Amino acid sequence: MRAGRWLVLGKHTVVIRQAWSTRAAWFHALWETGSGAVLDGVAALHASGLTGFQHHEIDVALPTNNRRHKADRTHIRHYRTMPPTVGGGVPRVRPEIAALNAAQWALTDRMAALILCLVVGQGLVLHEHLLETFARLQRCRRRAFLTTALKDICAGAASLGELDFARLCREYGLPPPSRQVLRTLPTGRAYLDVRWDDINLVVEIDGGHHTQALAPLADALRQNEIVLTNDRVLRIPLLGLRLDEEAFMGQVVRAHRQAVRR
C-alpha cells in the first residue's frame, strides 16, 4: 500500500490498482454496505448478463435489521424479507425480481420500458416468470404503466386488439382501415395488421415477440414481399406507440395524405 500498488477502499476492501473492474465494483459495494448484501436492480441484471444499458449507480439489497454503511455510487434498498437470490456467481437478486425493481426505480417510463424490453429480448427472464412475479407484487410504483408495458412486451400480438388502432385513427382524423387482411405472398399466406385498401397503405404493429430469435428475419422477408406488390409499409413497435403515440401516428397521417395525393 505504501508503494501505491494496493489501494484501500472503505473498511473491508483492498484492491490492486490494475485489477479494478465492474465485477470488482460489485463486490466492493457488497462488502462495504453490510452483512447479507446482494446486488439488486440494474446491477443484478448486469451480473446476470444484461447488455446494452448503462447505469452508474449500484443498487444493493440489504435486510432492514442489519447494520449498514454508505459506499460511493451505491444505493441501499432495505427489505424486511429479502427477495430470492441466484445461487452462483456474484450474490444477486433473481433477474425477474431485479428487472421489475429496476423498472420501478427508473427515472422515466421510457427507461423502465427499455429495461424490460432488454431483459425479455436477451432471454434473461421468461415471459411467464416476469408476469407471475409482477402479479405477486404487493407494492409497485408505476403499476398502471408497467401493467400495460408488460402486456405489450410479453403478450405481443395478443394485445393488438386492446390497443384499438381504429380508435386512434378516428382521433387523428383517419378513415377506418381494414384489419387482419389476408394476403398470399411467395413466402406463404400473411395477415396484415392494418391496411387502407384504396391507397395500398399498410401499417404493421410489432409486439415484443417480433424482436426474438429469427422473427426479424421473417419480418424482413415478409415486408419486402409486401413492398414488391406496390404497397407502402409502415412499422410501429407496439411499445413505441404506447410511449410516443403522437410521433408514430403523425407518421401514419403523413403517409396516408401522401398516398391519397397519388
DSSP class of residue 84 equals P
Burial class from Cβ neighbours inside 10 Å (0-12, 13-18, 19+) for residue 247 reads: exposed
Q: What gap in Å lies between CA 20 and CA 28, rounded to an integer?
A: 10
pLDDT score of 162: 39
When the pLDDT of each residue in the chain is averaged and rounded to a whole number, the result is: 82
Split at pLDDT 50, 70, 90, the class of 47 is very high
Share of the chain above pLDDT 70, in %: 84
Per-residue pLDDT at 131 exceeds 90: yes
Phi-psi sector, 99: left (phi>0), alpha (psi -120 to 50), beta: alpha
Other C-beta atoms lying within 10 Å of the C-beta of residue 262: 7
The position carrying cell 442489519 is 66
| Residue 6, SS3 per DSSP | strand
Q: How far apart are CA 245 and CA 53, in angstroms?
A: 24
**Which cell numbers in the block locate residue 19?**
485489477
Domains annotated for the chain, with CATH where assigned, are 6-141 (no CATH), 158-261 (3.40.960)
Q: Which residue has the higher pLDDT, 177 or 92?
A: 92
Confidence (pTM): 0.64
- Residue 150's pLDDT is 87
Which tens digits make up the pLDDT trace of 191-202?
788 889 999 999
User: Is it the case that residue 19 has pLDDT exceeding 70?
Assistant: no
pLDDT score, position 82: 93
* Structure confidence at residue 161 (pLDDT): 42
